[in-house]
Amino acid sequence: MKLYTKPGACSTAVHIDLRWTGEPFEVEVMDAESMKAPAFRALNPSGSVPVLVDGDFVLTQNAAIVGYIADRRPQARLGGDGSPRQRAEAARWLAFVNSDLHPAFKPLFGPGNYIDDPTQHDAVKAAARKRVRALFETADRQLQGREWLAGFRSFADPYLYVTLRWAARTGVDLSGLEALAAFPGTDGRRCRRAAGAQGRRLGLTGVAGRRPLRPPAF
Ligand SMILES: N[C@@H](CCC(=O)N[C@@H](CS)C(=O)NCC(=O)O)C(=O)O
């Protein structure tokens, strides 16, 4: 299997999932230019990562990819214990991150895609920070008394971790969100320094830029 990823992008979540399953995989590190190249557009016409290639199967879209990875290696339990209920919990929190939280960052990364007038960009970003903060408050409430979003480690967690890194980069105020601050990978409490230079290159280091999300525990 081969994952096309860009360091720090949402595809980093897929990368962590793959590491958690223990399945062998290759990584192709992309950048803005290579993502525009015809060879990559042939795989994903939208020119975005992640893309997962498994033999002749080319899969795009985070949610589909992490579900596929979880189903290939059920023993990693990234979609729960096999019960419909745990699968639904994992899918619920994946949907929260993929379709609520992730898009809420878009005005912060590209305010010009929302409003042409550059004098309005700071206002657009300020509004986006408020929206992102409100969504992180939801995640914080969910994490109270839980280590992982779904109540067990799932494919939703690496994606939350990636958005926490974005929050640090874009100046989102996370003060007072204590459960979120204790999330593995956020403050390094449950992490270890292991990524080294390769981890940094692949965007797997922690929010502070030093610690990776906890590697597989099995
Ligand atoms: N709906 C897609 C969104 C993927 C997406 O937004 N990818 C971003 C990175 S987080 C991307 O590749 N943007 C183009 C770029 O960075 O040039 C998914 O869930 O996979």
Question: What does the pLDDT profile of the chain (218 residues) look like in tens digits?
Answer: 999 999 999 999 999 999 999 999 999 999 999 999 999 999 999 999 999 999 999 999 999 999 999 999 999 999 999 999 999 999 999 999 999 999 999 999 999 999 999 999 999 999 999 999 999 999 999 999 999 999 999 999 999 999 999 999 999 999 999 999 999 866 544 433 333 444 555 556 555 443 444 443 32
In a domain, residue 216? The reply is: no
CA of 151 to the centre of ligand 1 (A): 27
Task: Assess whether 59 and 115 both reside in one domain.
Answer: no
> How many structural domains compose the chain?
2
Task: Assess whether 90 and 29 both reside in one domain.
Answer: no
Cβ of 9 below 6 Å from ligand 1: yes
In a domain, residue 47? The reply is: yes
In a domain, residue 209? The reply is: no
C-alpha to C-alpha distance for 130 and 173, rounded to whole angstroms? 8
Phi, psi of 56 (to 5 degrees): -95, 10
3 state SS of 162: helix
Task: Assess whether 59 and 97 both reside in one domain.
Answer: no
pLDDT value at position 126? 98
Prediction pTM value? 0.90
pLDDT value at position 184? 82
- Kindly give, in sequence order, each residue whose CB lies less than 8 Å from that of residue 55, ignoring residues fewer than 6 positions away: none
Please answer whether residues 69 and 155 qualify as being in contact, where contact means their C-beta atoms are separated by less than 8 angstroms: yes
Q: Return the best residue to mutate from 28, 49, 96, 165 for the ligand 1 pocket (most ligand atoms within 8 A of CB).
A: 49
Q: What is the CATH number of the domain that holds 90?
A: 1.20.1050.10
Task: Assess whether 96 and 168 both reside in one domain.
Answer: yes
User: What residue's CA is closest to ligand 1, atom 14?
Assistant: 48
Structure tokens at 41: 């557009």
Enter the DSSP assignment of 105: T
